[in-house]
A and B are shown apart, each in its own frame.
Chain A
């Protein structure tokens, strides 16, 4: 299959729609699943309340601290959603539909995770506030611990496809999805997804224990921008998970993009559910487990996958 690309103008429209739609869907899922977990008497109205929450926050004034780095503070959410767009660009959204299904797709995806680390760090750094800075450094430590996992898992997915392009990785799952062929891959990649989006158990930089860390000093539209960026990134990871492990757009009867959307919503629901049910992992424990358990496990996963491909 030759790498597929969209016209640049169409790519901007498609990318924007997917990111915005993804953020809305993740926001709605988060509200509804949260209301169900909380046992709220009116869980069905949770989505409406979430919308009202956004509107109310949008109408509140922004905040400023003493001597912030204002440029970086403004740039951080834009940079974070920008790298989410970059990650989305290399993912196939249907058969022959992709913004830029480049041959080095998994390398680009790895670069996105590193750039996300920079964006989150800047968000905490720029506020000139102690707990925000603690959150920023937490994310660096967290990211350095899961970045290698991501590479090993994606390389393992690339082996049977004999290509680093995500389109080829989808095509290689025609007979059998990677979630069955590589059972360790999905849980390991879930750690990467929750880590990069600092969601649920891995919400260490914006954790409640440090009064929301990098977001501590942020209010009004800037806070909405940051939360939308996080939800857009989670949506991209849900799509990436579907592409790498659940056959992406492959499926009978329905058009490819519909299959991908359905699978992505299921995956995003899983991420959101984990976020509401699993407590936040202590920082030092996550780093220790990531380096001593998950990393060796991911290498084993890669080695076994390589051996199976050779056989």
Chain B
């Protein structure tokens, strides 16, 4: 009886979002039958959405083994899955039903996914104290594969323990494929290095202006949903995710009213992750430049946009608040343009994440450099929010948008 009652969910799912899998995350966040959990320890199902880069496969196996058994693995549009995993593949349309079915089978012990890594750390724990602490060589850096703190002088002149960690690539809150290597003293990033994926989606050939603008609205609202979730507002994030799947101008206004109030999202984001105008100019991230009032927009010179009256960019101040306000501004304008564009087409679109004229590799390098500057010396929570406000093309739902782009 209990099995029947609980088989309606919500099934706890940990989503490992690869490139192009963002829409899956939004669809599941909006679904009643699924709970997105931020720790694999509380998941029942590991869902892999989007492409898995080669370098991220080994960490994905670690995440897999952290999901308690019995567990299931489901994949949606996932290319590059590690060979060790045998996922149940699903389409986006049938995903919730698949997860419910796998969840029910797990509950009655009819489904499981074996460990793929050794059950114990291959390197013996060398601690000697009554609680396993201490011991020769158990301090500083990453001895025997484990991060251990060692004293070092911090930026405030104090000598405190410094711990070296790599956060990502599958840490919820960070952009898809993003890695943050840190030297932490307390919760301050005394050393930081950010890396973004050097592969990513592109749109090639003749595409409809309306499709590009719809993609822009969906992408920017999707980024906002993820940021809102990371800022501690999961219910509002659910509302924004629902809007990202089917954006409307009225919906954008309604979300703005709920988020952009003195005691709303700005409490978490005001003054966080400040970027100067020089930092964001010429990086190939058009929306970011426009958030500081710099008119970097390929649409200005694109004849397909003639007469559509693009709004002039507004300097929103350079912090995380400024960035998500820009997302809302641009999403609203994108919906207006999509409506007005009728059947116009273009071959050099200003993509939601930046100019199509800049290569993915160059953009990743510039993106990583400015993100590293923005998080260095910051408190850990500010750093994660800052990175959540600097997503990449991998966090866009390009796979879905292709279906709308005529050949």
Contact = CB atoms under 8 A, between A and B. Distances in A.
B233 A276 contact: yes
Contacts of B384: 209-210
Interface in A185-233: 200-201, 203-204, 207-212, 215-220, 223
Nearest to B243: A39
Contacts of A159: none
Interface stretch (B81-89, B125-133, B280-288, B340-348): B125-133
A283 B42 CA distance: 25
B266 interface: yes
A142 B264 CA distance: 20
Nearest to A59: B107
A252 interface: no
A37 B239 contact: yes
Interface centre among A208, A218, A220 (most CB of B within 10 A): A208
A277 B10 contact: no
A200 B231 CA distance: 10
A218 B41 contact: yes
Interface in B220-279: 229-236, 238-239, 242, 258, 263-269, 271-272
Nearest to A133: B163
Considering residues A204, A223, A278, which has the most beta carbons from chain B within 10 angstroms of its beta carbon?
A278
A175 interface: no
B264 A279 contact: yes
B107 A34 contact: no
A104 interface: no
Given A207-B381, A219-B68, A282-B382, A277 B233 contact: yes
A279 B12 contact: no
A208 B230 contact: yes
A40 B230 CA distance: 20
B385 A67 contact: no
B11 A56 contact: yes
B200 to A, nearest CB: 24
Interface core residue of A33, A201, A279, A282 (most chain B CB under 10 Å)? A279
Contact of A278 (B8, B9, B264): B264
A10 interface: no
B235 A276 contact: yes
Contacts of A278: 263-264, 267
A134 interface: yes
A181 interface: no
Contact of B268 (A67, A217, A280, A284): A280
Contacts of A281: 267-268
Contacts of B238: 38-40
B242 A204 contact: no
A212 B232 contact: no
A35 interface: yes
Interface centre among B121, B234, B272 (most CB of A within 10 A): B234
A75 interface: no
Contacts of A53: 10, 12, 35
Interface residues on B, range: 35 or more
Contact of A217 (B32, B39, B121): B39
A210 B38 CA distance: 9
Contacts, number: 161
B235 A280 contact: no
B171 interface: yes
B361 to A, nearest CB: 29
A49 B32 contact: yes
Nearest to B240: A38
Contacts of B229: 208
Contacts of A285: 271
B333 interface: no
B236 A52 contact: no
Contact of B269 (A52, A60, A277, A279): A279
Given A60-B68, A211-B173, A42 B5 contact: no
B6 interface: yes
Interface string A218-250: 111001000000000000000000000000000
Give 6 closest A-B pairs by Cβ, nearest first. A279-B268, A280-B232, A38-B238, A219-B41, A38-B235, A37-B235
Given A37-B258, A283-B187, 17 more contacts: A34-B234, A38-B239, A40-B32, A45-B32, A55-B6, A60-B44, A63-B66, A130-B147, A204-B381, A209-B231, A209-B232, A209-B380, A211-B38, A211-B171, A277-B264, A279-B267, A284-B379
Interface of A: 33-35, 37-42, 45, 49, 52-53, 55-57, 59-63, 66-67, 69, 130, 134, 137-138, 200-201, 203-204, 207-212, 215-220, 223, 276-285
22 contacts: A38-B238, A49-B9, A52-B8, A53-B12, A57-B12, A62-B68, A67-B127, A130-B163, A209-B232, A209-B384, A212-B39, A216-B41, A223-B42, A277-B263, A277-B264, A279-B269, A280-B231, A280-B268, A280-B381, A283-B187, A284-B379, A285-B271
Interface of B: 2, 5-6, 8-12, 32, 35, 38-39, 41-42, 44, 66, 68-69, 107, 121, 125, 127, 131-132, 146-147, 163, 165, 171-173, 184, 186-187, 229-236, 238-239, 242, 258, 263-269, 271-272, 379-382, 384-385
